[in-house]
Structure formats: structure tokens, C-alpha cells
Structure 1
Amino acid sequence: MFSRRRFIVASAGALAAPSVLRAQGAETLREAATGLDQLHAILVQRGDETLLAEAPRGPGLGRVANIKSCSKSVLALLLGTAIERGEVAGLDATLSEVAPDLIPSDATEGAGDLTMSDLVTLRAGLEGTSGGNYGAWVRSRNWVAYALRQPRVAPNGGWMIYSTGTTHVLGAALATATGKSLLQLARERLGTPLGIEVPAWTRDPQGFYFGGNEMALTPEAMLRIAVLMRDGGAWDGTQVIARDWVTRSQEGQTRSRWSGLDYGYGWFLSPSGWTIGRGYGGQIIAAQPERGLAVAITSDPTRPARSAGYFGDLMALLDGPVLGLA
């Protein structure tokens, strides 16, 4: 039995040695994380200190994993670099201004008027190509044209409609505007400054790299992106992404009707202060600037992670044991 005297002695020791509390917290987190049978790897960093780096399942910490729709968050960062460099005039620039040749002659009315803001915040107003519509879309001969022909279900800039077709259009527009593929942009503007490898990933029939899905990164590389978001776009003393872009990305522009989370420029935002890239199966890139925390999680990419299921478990992990390490 844990007596009052032993409790007082243990508490005094913990107060005298904060490292003891940190170690206990890390062990609590480790036990909670490894108890989730979908979780492959988890890394947690506070400041410059790695508090946890575990890979109980999967390929490990140093091998690439499919980050699924965390790719949307990476794509949003690339949009920020294109705007900063003047390759895209701004968030209000329309698709017809940025990449008119992408718009098919039979596109849904208003498709050319979609702004970069509409696309990056998933407010294109067109029926989604994710979920049950995903298969038909990726089997089509032209992914961009197919997405822009979808029936209109909301006005441009209306409510959030989760659709990878929308971010693929954005990715193709970025490639067109910059004259560089998304692979080149990702390697030059994130890979090189962060010191991470960005392997080639899926391309559509026209050769555009998939905008918003199928990118592959190691958990360690994902953590560096999380640190980048935590530290206002800076990495190792260098401003990689404009601070203003990161700040604006962490301001809610719309809200997911599925998770209830706010959504900024490509990133989900939790009431507890997390900025989250979220991918199918439970792939997570998360930053908590106020607490100085950065997290990367990879999971089984073949199993779903619904908001009321495994993703909810991951949010409980972030809001509980992880925040407890701050």
C-alpha cells in the first residue's frame, strides 16, 4: 500500500527533480501509445529535446510511410512559398488566372473563379471525390478535369467539402504557375532546408504529382515538419516558410462537419491548441506552439481512423499524456 509518508517523499523527490516527472510522463505516454494496436510509430519533441521515439510496429522510425492526407498540409506549405515568391499572386488569385489551361471546356460553372483560398480550405463547392467517389475519380483519364466537372453542391467559398480532387487541382495549379513539379517544389522548399528525403510519389495520367495524397515521409521527417509549424516556419535558425503564412494557416477559415475541428490553410485546428495534419489510417503531423510540442505519428494505413474511433483515441493521446509532458 502506498502510504502517506511514501507519497510525501515521492512528491518531494519529484519536485526536486523535474526530470523524474518527465520520465514518468514519458512512460505513461509510451504505455498509452503502444496500447493502440493501429499505431506504428510516435515521436514527441519538446523544445529541442526528443521525449519519446518509439516504433512498436510497422517499418520503423527511419523508413518512409505513406502519410496519406497529411500531404494536403504539406501542399498548403508549398502554396505559401509560391505566394511569398510572387509565383501566385495571392490567396484571392483565381484558377483562371493561375492556370487557365487546366480548366476543361465543360467545367462546372464557376470553376474558373475558384480562388487559391477556396482550394486550400476545401471550399470549392463541388461534389467531393473522396470517400465513395474516390475510385471513379482516380480511374478517370484526367483527374483535374474530372474534379472540375463535379456537380455544384455549394457556392465557391461556402462550406468545407472534404475532397482530394480539390487539393489535386491546387497542386496542378501550383505546378503550372511555378513551372516545377510538386516533387521539385517539395524537395527544394522543404526537403533541402529541413534535411529530409522526399521520394517520388503517385502521378496522374497527365503527369501531375498527386496533390493531397500518397506522399511518403519517414516519421523523423514528419517530426521536422511538425517542428517547423510549431516554430513559426523556422528550422535551425532559418525561416523556411514565411511566419505570416504559418500564423494564418493556424487561424480557422472553416470547420469540418465530421470531426468538428476548425480548418485553416490545409491544417486542422483543435480547441486545445493543436495544429494537425491528418491522414487516413491515423497519420499525424501535430504542433502545439504554446506548449512547445511537436509530434509525428504513423499508423496502419489500411485501417480507418474515424473521429469517433481511432482518430479520437489519437486526439485523447495528444490532449492527455502528450500535453502532460509540457
Structure 2
Amino acid sequence: MALDAPPGGGSASPNTAEAPPTIGLDSLLLEEAFERAASLPRLYSLLVARHGEMIREEYFNGTPPGRVANIKSASKSVISTLVGIAIDQGHLEGVDQPIAPFFPEWSSQNGDPRIHEITIEHLLAMQSGLQSTSFGNYGAWAASSNWVRDQLTRPFVDEPGGAMVYSTGSTHLLSAILTQATGRSTLAYARDVLFAPMGISLSPWTRDPQGIYMGGNEMGLRPQEMLTYGELYRRGGVHEGERLLSEAWIERSWIQRGTSSFNGHGYGLGWWIRDRRGYDVYFAWGYGGQYVFVVPELEMTVVTTSNPTGPRAGGHTRTIHDMVTDLLIPAAEQGAG
């Protein structure tokens, strides 16, 4: 099945029929990957495409094919996409644009002059220097009466452009900036410029107390819709012959800016980066095991969704990465083309 568009129009509806393993993936290694996937109690889905064709998709642990997945922090990659489109359309000046003028009241309350040095690129790359709103700080941030103010008035823990400080508050600021710059909600803008052209119906998700759609968490997509999104990047920003995103933005997003002190992965502009078996692997990653992996050199895109509830599942996510590294990449290396 070609992945230029969801079948039948409208929101993508996964087809569970298994494609013959003849489009560039070794069938034995592919089978081993899906057997390993079936053994994971938290895994909901595994989809593998190569050369723009769905090779195989399966759903596990009682998951229906059409279930919408909370993609969690993979939403950060989508926010990055929207920023790139907004720059292309002239709503934003560029990645070097300072963010303080968007929030003069809250920026002035910070008291540290470095607040005026933070740019859009710093937010995208998790290099604002502001204290994180994630991990142990997430609950208090989400419970605050103003998420934008809470992030902007936090103390600096590094210089803008310095070390990576992962923070959902940073991408939420980007959602607030998109809302101001485009004059539309992040939901409306995302539907118009990204998801509707790909035949995907994006549903509303969590909003902050001021009504701004959460930047960087809680978006909902079906697994095959996630694959369509990954294929947009693999194809250089083109869907069904229509350019939705500039290739230059994708290239810029996939340049490593920092490295996570928690997992060692590289980070670009809303995308994680890792070398696997000598190949650059770029991935959108959400808590619990929501992934969109893109391996451009092998023309391969892989999606997983998982149970997002419960404690951090380090073993589960490691197994997903191992499936890609030890089975799916070798399957592409040994496959026909």
C-alpha cells in the first residue's frame, strides 16, 4: 500500500493486511522483529514502511487498528513542523527571532536580562537556559494558573544557546507564539497547513488555562497517521506532489544542537537524533514508547505506539530501539533494494 495518502480519503484508516515482504526488507529479520514486538506487554502497534510502501503493520494486546494514540512528547516534533511552516509563510521572521516581545508582561517579570536573548531556535532546541518544567517540575507547571508565565519567570540554569534543558514549557511557548503570529489557534493552524492536506482529521487536545493548545504533549494520532507524518519528512516535505514543508527546514531540524544528559540521544529542532549501525536515525519520541523513526538513507519509516500510562518504561523503550537497530535496519540492509 502506497503511503502518499490515507486510503479512501479523510482520516487514515489502517489496513491490517500484511504486504508481501518483497519491497526491500529481509523476511526472516522482519518476522523476528514482529515476534519480538508481540512479546511486549505495553506495545500497541508496530508499522514498517520502505520506499514509500507499507510493508507490514500489526496491533498488539487487544489494540484495535483505528485507535487514536496519545503521542505524548512526539507532539514536540509536530510543533517544530508548524514553526517551520509559519516561517515559510512569513508569520515568523525566522529562528533567530527573539521571543520576549511576544510576552512583554511576563518577560519583564523574570528580572534576568538574558530573557531577551532567547530565540525561537533556543526553544526548539531545548536551549533556552530556563529551568525545566518537565520531569519533577511537570506537575507544578501543569497545575499553575498560567503556563506561559510559569515558564518565562523560572530562573536560568544555563545560558541561552547552552546545554540542552528538556522542557515541555519551551514548546508550549512556541504554541503560544504560533497562536499570536498566525492569529489562529495552534489546532486550527495545524489542521489547515499540515494535517488536512495529508487527509488527517486532527482532534482538539489539552489547552492551558488561557486556552492555548498545549505545545509539546497530548496530541492524538492514529498509528498510520503517524506514519504518514514520518513519510512527509522522509520525502523532504512533499505529500502527494504538494510541498507542505521546506526541505531546508527538515535539514535544519535534523542538525544536532545538543545531547540529552538523561539518555545520550542527540537533539535538533524538535527531533531526536541517533547513529544506528552507521545510519542517521531521526525520531519523534513520546513518553511510554510512542515513536516515529525515519531512516532516510534506507528509505525506511517505523512507527510504534504503546500504553502511555504507568511508570517510566526504560526496558520497553530500549527494546523498541533494539528492534530498529538489531533487526529492522539489518532487514533493510539485506533486503532487495
Q: TM-score, normalised by structure 1?
A: 0.90
- Per-residue CA deviation, residues 210-267 of structure 1 (Å, 9 max, x unaligned), is 0000111110110111111111111222211100001111111111111111111100
- Aligned positions of 1:13-32 closer than 5 A: 22-32=26-36
Deviation track 1:120-165 (CA, whole Å, cap 9, x = no partner) reads 0011111111111111111111000001111111011110001101
Instruction: Figure out how many residues of one structure are paired with residues of the other and give that number.
Output: 308
Distance 1:234 1:223 in 2: 14
Higher radius of gyration, 1 or 2: 1
* 3-state secondary structure, aligned to 1:270: strand
Q: Which residue of 1 aligns with 2:255?
A: 251
Q: CA deviation at 1:18?
A: 5.7
Number of the residue aligned with 2:284: 277
Tell me what 2:307 maps to.
Answer: 300
Aligned runs of 1:69-148 on 2, under 5 Å? 69-97=73-101, 99-101=102-104, 103-109=106-112, 110-148=114-152
CA distance in 2, matches of 1:201, 1:18: 39
- Farther-moved stretch of structure 1 (53-62 vs 165-174): 53-62
Q: What is the Cα deviation at residue 105 of structure 1?
A: 3.5
Residues 271-300 of structure 1: per-residue CA shift (max 9 Å, x gap) = 121110011111101111100001111001
Question: What is aligned with 1:311?
Answer: 317
- Cα 1:108–1:40 change in 2 (3 A) is farther
For structure 2, list consecutive stretches of 5 or more residues without a partner in the other structure: 1-20, 333-337
Asked whether the equivalents of residues 127 and 160 of structure 2 are also in contact (C-alpha less than 8 Å), the reply is yes
Distance 1:153 1:20, change over 3 A: closer
Cα deviations by residue, 1:73-111 (Å, 9 ceiling, x for unpaired): 0000000001111111000000134x1346353125222
Measured in 1, the distance between the counterparts of 2:23 and 2:78 equals 34
Aligned match of 1:53: 57
SS where residue 189 of structure 1 aligns? helix
- Give yes or no for the alignment of 1:184 onto 2:184: no
Answer yes or no: is the 8 Å Cα contact 1:100–1:112 preserved in 2: no
- Contact 1:43–1:50 (8 Å) recurs in 2: yes
Q: Does 1:232 align with 2:239?
A: no
Asked whether the equivalents of residues 160 and 254 of structure 1 are also in contact (C-alpha less than 8 Å), the reply is yes
The alignment-based identity, stated in percent, is: 39
Q: 1:103 to 1:23 in 2, by over 3 A?
A: same
Q: 1:123 to 1:19 in 2, by over 3 A?
A: closer
1:57–1:190: structure 2 CA closer, same or farther, 3 Å change rule? farther
Segment of structure 1 superposing worse, 187-196 or 153-162: 187-196
Change in Cα spacing, 1:58 to 1:249, as seen in structure 2 (3 Å) is farther
Q: What TM-score do you get using the length of structure 2 for normalisation?
A: 0.87
Q: Higher mean Cα deviation, 287-296 or 49-58?
A: 49-58
Q: How does 1:145-294 map to 2 (within 5 A)?
A: 145-272=149-276, 273-294=280-301
Which amino acid is the alignment partner of residue 324 of structure 2? Answer: L
Task: Answer 1 or 2: higher relative contact order, Cα 8 Å, separation at least 6.
Answer: 2
Instruction: Flag as ranges the 4+ runs of structure 1 deviating above 6 A.
Output: none
